[in-house]
Structure 1
Amino acid sequence: MHEFLDRADAGRRLAARLTSLRGPDVVVLGLPRGGVPVAAEVAAALEAPLDLIVVRKLGIPFQPEVAMGAIGEGGVRVLDEALVARAGVSAADVDAVERQERATLDSRVARFRTGAERLDLTGRTAIIVDDGIATGATATAACGVARQLGAARVIVAAPVGGPDAVPRVGGADDVVCLIQPPGFYAVGAHYRDFGQTSEEEVATLLAAARRRMAGGAP
């Protein structure tokens, strides 16, 4: 069964759970790329500005789809030390994966930030939105970035997450997750349409949100 039609549908349903957070100090932060369409719906519903937090998963070298941690803007790194030890991954291997992912992260920051300054989070409530929580590592890294940028309160919100992964999200004051299905194995399994989000779509959604906050045409 697909609980959500697509990311926009998931975002609207997630926004309905977050209405109590509406306020002038709220900033919604999407995790690119797939989290941004979800975040755009949340930001519109809460009449809040939309921005990004760029993070990258650190995959185990011989099994890249398994996250051993994540990195974020500003030099933030989160590692699952127990998993690293169990997998026998050396410190040198971790550093090599981080160097590779850091280069990708830096290039994405440069592309996504073109023509727009990062929103000031000092003293504000940051709602970090992704399309799902598979391991908790990426969301944890994003929380670290938001704290580093001065957020006073950090909320992580996602439409779906693994029952084991959601409790592993660290650094958040609260985690809002609409469904945590037993037997969870993949975020995309809970969407009818889980096509890749393009960088152009991310840029378009950010530009539309900036126009909305400036009172311009949608």
Structure 2
Amino acid sequence: MRFADRVEAGRVLAGSLTHLSEEKPIVLGLPRGGVPVAAEVAARLGAEVDVVLVRKVGAPGHPELAVGAVGEGDVTIRSERVLRELDLTWADVAHTAAKERAEILRRVESLRGGGPPPDLIGRTVILVDDGVATGATLVAAVRVVRRMGAGRVVVAAPVAPADVVADLRLIVDEVVCPLTPRRFYAVGYWYENFTQVDDAEVRAILGR
């Protein structure tokens, strides 16, 4: 099974989340690729859609391999297992982490117009990405929304490795993931069309 694009993936994912519609959840996409998926989920559930701002911290020379993540509200997640495997310390990626924090500040301006994050106190929050590899950014997103007072936290993604899904279940109330292949490869492998999403597309979705 492969998804045609993020819209199809979002519709498939939404079909597994209809049991949450009565909780009047808020759906938060991880920019930028998670936002089109989140929009489809929100449309199906009749829910509000917004963003949670987190950024992966990539390994030196391998930016797609997450050694941790940072999020708004000064959240920091370190993937200690990956750091050990690469014989790295957090100090080795401190400069990268600082650059990613700067990008979060830029996106606060670009995507939210410098406005405040949504009010999450006591609400059911569905965190949506277009797929999960190491899970570092989603772990950061979970910590961000917990600090913001979220009541029930659900992680939803179209595709992820089974072991990562198991790890995520330890820190949230529910994980929904229709596709958990034994051989994962990469998130983009599971999409026919995995073109980059830009800020303008995210702003258009949030402005609907």
Alignment TM-score, normalising by the size of structure 1: 0.90
Q: Any conservation in 1 of the 2:108–2:115 contact (CA below 8 Å)?
A: no
Equivalent-residue separation in structure 2 for 1:53 and 1:115 (angstroms) = 14
Shift of 1:101: 1.1
Supply the distance in 2 between the matched residues of 1:183 and 1:137 (Cα, whole angstroms).
Answer: 19
Q: Spell out, residue by residue over 1:158-210, the C-alpha distance to the aligned partner (whole angstroms, 9 max, x if none).
A: 111122322232631111101011211111111111111111110000000xx
The separation in 2 between residues aligned to 1:133 and 1:115, in whole angstroms, is 28
Deviation larger for 12-21 or 2-11 = 2-11
The alignment yields a C-alpha RMSD, in angstroms, of: 1.5
Superposition deviation, residue 91 in structure 1: 3.5
Flag the 1:91–1:135 CA change in 2: closer, same or farther, 3 A: closer
> What amino acid maps onto 1:112 in structure 2?
L
CA distance in structure 2 between the partners assigned to 1:191 and 1:82 by the alignment: 28
Match of 2:173 in 1: 173
Provide the residue aligned with 2:71 in structure 1: 72
Paired position in structure 2 for 1:191: 191
Q: Corresponding residue for 1:3? A: 2
Does 1:155 find its partner at 2:159?
A: no
1:214 corresponds in structure 2 to none
The one-letter code matched in structure 2 to 1:125 is T
Query: Aligned letter for 1:163?
Result: A
What are the equivalent positions in structure 2 for 1:80-95 lying under 5 Å apart?
A: 80-95=79-94
- CA-CA distance at 1:117 after TM superposition: 4.2
CA distance in 1, matches of 2:55, 2:187: 17
Distance 1:4 1:167, change over 3 A: same
Could you say if the C-alpha distance between residues 96 and 26 of structure 1 is closer, same or farther in structure 2, counting changes exceeding 3 Å? Answer: same
Code of the residue aligned with 1:184 in structure 2: it is: F
Shift of residue 105, structure 1, vs aligned partner: 1.4
Report the CA distance shift for 1:6/1:70 in structure 2 as closer, same or farther (over 3 A).
same
Match of 1:53 in 2: 52
Q: Distance in 2 between matches of 1:83 and 1:152?
A: 30
State the SS of the aligned residue for 2:43.
helix
- 1:203 match: 203
Partner of 1:136: 135
Stretch deviating more after TM superposition (46-55 or 97-106): 97-106
Cα distance per residue 1:98-156 (max 9 Å; x no partner): 11111111111221111754220000000000000111111111000110111011000
Aligned partners of 1:69 and 1:115: how far apart in 2? 25
> Is the CA contact (8 Å cut-off) linking 1:157 and 1:176 kept in structure 2?
yes
Equivalent residue, structure 2, for 1:216: none
Letter in 2 for 1:135: T
Alignment size in residue pairs = 207
**Deviation for aligned residue 1:59:** 1.0
- Which amino acid in structure 2 is aligned with residue 196 of structure 1? Q
Identity %: 49
Aligned equivalent of 1:99: 98
3-state DSSP class of the match of 2:100? helix
Question: Which runs of 4 or more aligned residues in structure 1 lie more than 4 Å from their structure 2 counterparts after TM superposition?
Answer: none
Query: Which range moves more in the overlay, 136-145 or 106-115?
Result: 106-115
Change (3 A) 1:129 1:91: closer
CA–CA distance in structure 1, aligned partners of residues 22 and 192 of structure 2: 32
Equivalent residue, structure 1, for 2:21: 22
The equivalent residue for 2:38 is: 39
TM-score (norm 2): 0.94
Describe the SS at the equivalent of 1:77.
Answer: strand
